[in-house]
Amino acid sequence: MIGISRFLIASAVGAMMAVPVQAEMTDVGTPRHETLVVQTFDGRSPNPSEMNPLNRYAVWRGARELGWGYLWEMDTGTGTPYPELADGFPEVLDDDHTHFRIKIRPGVFWSDGEEFTVDDIIFTMATSFKYRDQLTNVSTATSLLKEGSWKRIDDYTMEVETVETSFDFINRIGVMNWGSGFNIVPQHIFEPLGDAVTTFQNIDPVFLGPYTMHSYDPNGFWQLWERREDWERSSYGFMGEPSAKYILYKDFGPEETRTLAFVQNQYDLDTFMSPDSISAAKARSEHVETFAPTFPYHDMNDACSWGVRFHQQKAPYDMPEVRWALALSLDLEQVGINALSGQFIATGIPAADTPITREVYFNPCVKGGHKLGH
């Protein structure tokens, strides 16, 4: 199980799966029995043509899970990282943990047939710094790395330095939780653009993952992916062949509409439904499966926190006194019961209480060394 980031193997929080219908076509022209249909996490995309990962892009349409590749992935169920593009973990070259040697696996290719090398990594680092004031998704590189410190050793080996001690280097430059702040781009595509890299939308992208984009809806309702013929040369092709030939991300509308579409097998995977909708779907179809077969139906170790949020830039919520008054007047137990039918873990700080975060955040907050218990 590799966690929320590669949902084909591990279901996301609250995910439900239905049984696909065999003998029919999808509305985008693919055989239904060869197509995994997924309700998009964020509904309709407002920027479906933006697929340049150096800018804020349409990440929830499959690019994160299927397209881009990362040096190190993470099993989000345990918090354990593992190499994906990298050939093992980085070698620490100094006592301060600021100097690292990275090796990548040979034999990984972009979807257009160009080999992936450390030149792509170094180009991405250099471009992130050069255009940091214009690009909108390069914060990890520019805040973590020492500018100009990258050094090419050979096609598969490089060294780089960080600004300060980085015991979490593999998470910062790889994957932390659901995604990464360092998205590697193909040098052979981006370098010829020059300054235009800052406005490049990348509507016909090449990818490192085992899928490539087949087509998408310019109105933002769906995006279709197709498994690469050379999937074994992709970023995580070493893990085995993905079973679905096509993967369709589609927005099926409001939750009440989605629930009906789901029990009719119009789609297979939903990454979030309310407890009431889950109960209604299970009551209408014996084929609906959830993270757990009994209440609570979803994974209680959600990496995201739930609660009441205030718009702190809008009056009167910009006043700490008002926010405190509202917080103290709320019955948070009833909030949780009404919002999630009681299927939540209470927490006193704005961080999810999970087996991973408990030792890092929660236990140190308790005075007298007494550890919190579930």
Q: Kindly report the pTM of this predicted structure.
A: 0.82
- Judge whether 209 and 68 are in contact, CB under 8 Å: yes
Q: What pLDDT does 303 receive?
A: 66
What string of pLDDT tens digits covers the 374 residues of the chain? 233 344 333 333 334 555 544 558 999 999 999 999 999 988 899 899 999 999 999 888 999 999 999 999 988 767 789 999 999 999 999 999 999 999 999 999 999 999 999 999 999 999 999 999 999 999 899 999 999 999 999 999 999 999 999 999 999 999 987 788 899 999 999 999 999 999 999 999 999 999 999 999 999 999 999 999 999 999 999 999 999 999 999 999 998 899 999 999 899 998 778 888 888 888 888 888 888 888 787 777 776 667 788 888 899 999 999 999 998 998 888 888 887 777 777 776 777 787 777 877 778 877 555 555 44
Q: What pLDDT does 2 receive?
A: 35
User: Residue 148 — left, alpha, or beta (φ > 0 → left; ψ -120 to 50 → alpha)?
Assistant: left
Entry field: residues in the chain: 374
Neighbours of 260 (CB within 10 A): 16
What φ, ψ does residue 65 adopt, rounded to 5°? -80, -35
Maximum Cα–Cα distance across the chain: 63
- Judge whether 192 and 136 are in contact, CB under 8 Å: no
The domains located in the chain, with CATH, are 16-66+207-290 (3.40.190.10), 69-198 (3.90.76.10)
β-strand partners of 35:
246
